[in-house]
Chains A and B, each alone.
Chain A
Amino acid sequence: MARCSICGKRAVYISRALAKGYCKKHFLEYFDRKVRRTIRKYRMFSEKETIIVAVSGGKDSLALLHYLVKLSKRVPGWTIKALLVDEGIRGYRETTIKDFLRVAGELGVEYRIVRFRDELGYTLDEIIEIGRRKKLPYHPCSYCGVFRRYLLNKAAREMGGTVIATAHNLDDVIQTYLMNIVKNSWEKIVRLGPVSGVTGHPRFVRKVKPFYEILEKESALYAVLNNLYPKFVECPYAQQSMRWYLRKHINKLEEMYPGTKYSMLRSLLRIIQLLEDKTDKIIEGEIRSCRICGEPASHDLCRACTYRLELGIMDENGNIIRDIDTGASGNQLSR
C-alpha cells in the first residue's frame, strides 16, 4: 500500500510532483503549512481585518471558509464573514445554498446572501435568455463573472469588509492563464496574481486568493476529510466553456508529466513579474468611477452597467427595467 512519507501510515494522498505520500494527519498539516506560507509570502492579511469569504457552496469555497474560520481563532484582530452570490441558476444553486447554510451554521459564521434577482431584477437564467434573444455576443460565463464580481465587491464593502478572500485554487488560476494566452489578453494575465492589483479606488475592496498554490484535488480532499464535501452538482453552463476543455487537457498533462501544474504557475508568476514595469502600457487608462453606478470602472461605464444597458434591463439613470418577457422556458416560475 501507498504510505505516508512522514509516519508510514496508509496514505490518503500522494503527490507525484513532490514524490511524497501523506496520511490524513500529515496531509492536513501539509495543507495548513502551504496555505499559511502563501498568506505570509504575499502579505494577504494584516493583523486587523474584516475578511469577507466569497462562497458559492462548492467544495473549494466551503474549504476556504472552514480553513479561515479555524485560522482566525489564532488571530484576535480578524473577523470572518461569508458572502454568497446567488445568480439564480435553476437546479444548481438551490443545492449549493443548502450545503453552504449547513457549513455556515456548523461554523457559526455571520453571512449574507446577495441575489441577482434582487440586485439586477433578473436571475442569471433570465439574463442569458434575454441576451440570446437580443443576439448579444456573450457566453453565459461572461454575464455570470461580470455580475458576480460586481455584486461581490459592492456587498463586501457594505458588510464592512477590508479584504475579500476567494477560493480560486492553482488549477483555476492556470486555466485562466491559458485561456488568456489564447485570447491574447495580457491585461488579464497581469491581474492574475495572488493579490488583486487594482487599488486606489475608494469603492474597491482588495481581493486575495489564499488557495493560490493549492491544487484542486488538495482542496477537494481537505473538504472530504473535514466533512464539507457538498452534494455534487455541476453548473449547467460549465460544459460549454473553453475552461472545461482546458481543465481536461491540463489534468491529462499532469498525469503524464507530474509537476506540470506547479510549473505553469511558476511561468505565470514569472511573466507577471517581467511585465510589472510595463503594466501601465498593458492596462490602458486609470481606474475611474462608473458614470451610472459609481463603482470602479476602467472606462466611462463599468462592465456591469455596460451589460445591463445592452440587455435593456436598466435605464441610463440606473433604474431596473422590469417585466421583460424571458420566454416560456419556465424561468419566470423560479422567481
Chain B
Amino acid sequence: MTVIVRIIDTDKIWQLTGVSGKTIREILKSIGLIIEEYVISRNGEIVSEDEIVGEDDYITLYPVVSGG
C-alpha cells in the first residue's frame, strides 16, 4: 500500500500511503516538486506525469536540470 518516490542517485526518498488513484502530477505537487524538472519512471518504465499511481508503485525521478 506504500508508493515510493525517489530522486535517482540521491537520498531524497518519500514513502507515501493513501495515494493510489492519484496522478503522478498530483503526487509530485503534494511533496513540493516541480513536474517540469523531472523525467519519470514507474517500476522501471518511462511514463508521463498524467499516469495514475497504483499500489506499491516505485517512482524514480530523473532530474532534468543540468548540473553544468
A interface, CB within 8 angstroms of B? 1-2, 10-14, 21, 24, 56, 58-60, 92, 96, 144, 172, 216-217, 219-221, 224-225, 229, 231-235, 238, 247-248, 251-252, 254-255
Cβ-closest chain B residue relative to A225: B46
List A contacts of B47 (CB < 8 A): 1-2, 10-12
Contact with A along B43-68 (1 / 0, CB 8 A): 00011111110000000001111111
Chain A interface secondary structure, helix, strand, loop or mixed? Answer: helix
Return the chain B residue nearest A22 by Cβ: B48
Q: Are A58 and B36 in contact (CB under 8 A)?
A: no
- Residues from chain B with a CB closer than 8 A to the CB of A11 are 47-48, 50
A220 touches B39 (CB 8 A): yes
Q: Given the interface contacts A2-B50, A2-B51, A12-B48, does A232 sit within 8 Å of B36 by beta carbon?
A: no
A221: contacting residue among B7, B8, B46, B50, CB under 8 A:
B46
Chain A to chain B: the 6 pairs with minimum beta-carbon distance, closest first: A220-B64, A2-B50, A235-B68, A251-B36, A232-B9, A12-B46
- Whether B66 and A60, one on each chain, are in contact in the complex, defined by CB atoms closer than 8 angstroms, is yes
Assembled-state Cα–Cα distance A293/B62 (Å): 42
Contacts of B64 in A (CB 8 A): 59, 216-217, 219-221
How many Å lie between the Cα of A10 and that of B42 in the bound state?
12
The answer to whether B65 touches A247 (Cβ under 8 A) is yes
Contact B8 A232 (CB under 8 A): yes
CB <8 Å contact, A224 and B34: no
Q: How many angstroms from the CA of A235 to the CA of B66 in the assembled complex?
A: 9
> CA of A220 to CA of B39 in the docked complex: distance in angstroms?
7
Min CB–CB distance A288 → chain B (angstroms)? 30
In Å, the complex CA distance between A251 and B38 comes to 11
Given contact pairs A96-B67, A144-B68, a sample of 18 additional A-B residue pairs in the complex whose CB atoms are under 8 Å apart: A1-B47, A1-B50, A2-B50, A12-B48, A14-B48, A14-B49, A56-B68, A58-B68, A217-B36, A217-B64, A220-B62, A220-B63, A224-B41, A231-B9, A232-B7, A234-B67, A238-B68, A252-B34
Expressed in whole angstroms, the Cα–Cα distance for A224 and B41 within the complex equals 10
Chain B contacts for A255, CB-based, 8 A: 34-36
A225 CB contacts on chain B under 8 angstroms: 46
Check: B30 CB closer than 8 A to any chain A CB: no
Whether B66 contacts A58 by the Cβ 8 Å rule is yes
A254 nearest in chain B by CB position: B36
If A224-B62, A248-B34 touch, whether A232 touches B67 (CB-CB below 8 Å) is: yes
Whole-angstrom distance between the Cβ of A131 and the nearest chain B Cβ: 18
B37 to A: closest C-beta gap in Å: 6
Select from chain B the residue with minimum beta-carbon distance to A216.
B64
| Residue in chain A with minimal CB distance to B23 | A2
State in angstroms the CA–CA spacing of A59 and B38 once bound together: 13
Query: Which single member of A2, A229, A251, A252 contacts B62 (CB below 8 Å)?
Result: A229
Residues of B within 8 A of A248 (CB): 34
Q: Which residues of B contact A1 (CB under 8 A)?
A: 47, 50-52
